[in-house]
Amino acid sequence: TMAALGSDSWWKKTLYLTGGALLAAAAYLLHELLAIRKEEELDSKDAIILHQFSRPRNGVPSLSPFCLKMETYLRMADLPYQNYFDGKLSPQGKMPWIEYNHKKVSGTEFIIDFLEEKLGVNLNKHLGPHERAVSRAVTKMVEEHLYWTLAYCQWVENLHETQKMVSLFGPFSDLLKWIFCHLTKGIVKREMYGHGIGRFSEEEMYTLMEKDMRTLAGLLGDKKYIMGSTVSTVDATVFGHLAQAMWTLPGTRPERLIKGELINLAMYCERIRRKFWPEWHHDDDNTLYESEESSEASKTYSPLQDFSFYSRTETFDEEGNSISQTPDTDYTGHSLFDSDVDMDEYRDHEQCK
């Protein structure tokens, strides 16, 4: 700074330095005030704060299967939570992560273990030892194998469509989205190569993806959920990943497969969406998976909230007023169990066509 001032008199130098110091002090105080305000907003005493990526533009809760898994799990377990879309990764570099009573936990498996220990919830209490083992094996297949093939489709092959869904605002939002998406593409390709699956050709990767999806379809069969008639933790995992194929990969091989030959997986996704995400609705939804009654009810669903407190048994409107709601009804009062689509209904529809 002194060199830049050149031959200016000493009092001008003093004035410039003093002004700079005052500006620096003001910036520091502003930073501290914002930090205090943020800390107050994130007071996690007896409250679950879920950190995740921002909502995308296409109405899907998240482009991250792990974020969608975690939020769906919280709804399945009927645990009130508050979303925080700050984009900040956990100390381990993970997303999503939670805060509860000022304790930070990352990694969806560790988050679920933590909540089970602290809050006594357990979606798997009805499962026997063999079923728990199968559930874990399916979870690892989905998260450690299927995930990478879907990520390739989302962030490499179908990047142009994914870029349209990314939610960024500001005067340079289009440029920032382009930069973000192409950086993510590079990261995904590098991590896939390190994993090993990225060393195969595109056709070989899609062959592996199809095998995984067919395995899930065979395991599900005509059951309501993966492990039977009752929802369990593995359903949050499978739904979080299959939802990407259903609603974020238009025109791609995963979407054609799940909405075509593996129709039971599509109906499974619809079943979970309607029961645990009553406000999640697409104007361009394919009514093939909707019954007449449920399709009428879906027209009144409200859009997803960017920043909100959520509980299945009680929620709040935009002004903070309490709205009564039971776990078995949506915002319109219609039963969520009306949305359980069965195979007979689909076959009747196909015959009519």
Between the CA of residue 253 and those of 176, 192, 250, 345, what are the distances in Å? 28, 19, 9, 25
* pLDDT > 60? residue 300: no
**What's the DSSP call for residue 337?**
G
Q: Is the pLDDT of residue 214 over 90?
A: yes
CA-CA distance, 210 to 155, in Å (whole number)? 18
pLDDT digits (tens, 9 = 90+) for 154-164: 999 999 999 99
- Which residues span the domain enclosing 236? 46-280
Query: What is the mean predicted confidence (pLDDT) over 125-134?
Result: 96
How does strand 103-106 pair with strand 309-310? unpaired
Q: Torsion-angle region of residue 101: left (phi > 0), alpha (psi -120 to 50) or beta?
A: left
Evaluate if pTM is beyond 0.75. Answer: no
- Which H or E element spans position 346? helix 343-352
Residue 70 in any domain: the answer is: yes
What is the Cα–Cα distance from 304 to 167, expressed in whole angstroms?
A: 13
Hey, what amino acid is at 265?
L
Whether residue 209 is contained in a domain is answered as: yes
- How does pLDDT run across 71-93, given as a tens digit for each residue? 999 999 999 999 998 888 888 88
pLDDT value at position 102? 86
Reported as a pLDDT band with limits 50, 70 and 90, residue 42 is low
Convert the pLDDT of each residue in 230-275 to its tens digit.
999 999 999 999 999 999 999 999 999 999 999 999 999 999 999 9
Closest CA to 236 of 51, 342, 78: 78
Does residue 100 sit in helix, strand or coil? strand
Looking at residue 89, the DSSP 8-state letter turns out to be: P
Q: Quick one: pLDDT at residue 58? A: 82
pLDDT classification of 290: cutoffs 50, 70, 90? very low
Please indicate, yes or no, if residue 313 is contained in any of the structural domains. no
Is the predicted pLDDT of residue 36 greater than 50, yes or no?
Answer: no
Determine the Cα–Cα distance for residues 309 and 53; give it in Å rounded to an integer.
Answer: 16
Task: Output the domain CATH number for residue 232.
Answer: 1.20.1050.130
| Rounded Cα–Cα distance for residues 194 and 314 (Å) | 45
Average pLDDT, the chain: 78
- How do residues 305-353 score in pLDDT, each as one tens digit? 543 455 554 433 333 343 333 333 333 443 333 344 444 444 444 444 4
Instruction: Give me 46's structure tokens.
Output: 């007896």
- Is residue 329 domain-resident? no
Comparison of pLDDT for 269 and 3, the residue scoring more: 269
Give a yes or no: residue 305 inside a domain.
Answer: no
3-state secondary structure 115-129: HHHHHCCCCCCCCCH
What would the mean pLDDT of 18-30 be, rounded to a whole number? Answer: 54
In a domain, residue 73? The reply is yes
What digits encode the pLDDT tens for the residues 91-120?
A: 888 899 999 998 999 999 999 999 999 999
Domain total for the chain? 1
Q: Is 67 inside a domain boundary?
A: yes
Whole-number pLDDT of residue 177: 87
More confident residue, 19 or 214: 214
Residue 221 falls within a domain, yes or no?
yes
Please state the rounded mean pLDDT for residues 212-239. Answer: 96
Percent of the chain with pLDDT over 70: 67
Q: Buried b vs exposed e over 289-324: b needs ≥16 C-beta within 10 Å?
A: bbeeebeebbeebeebeeeeebbbeebeeeeeeeee
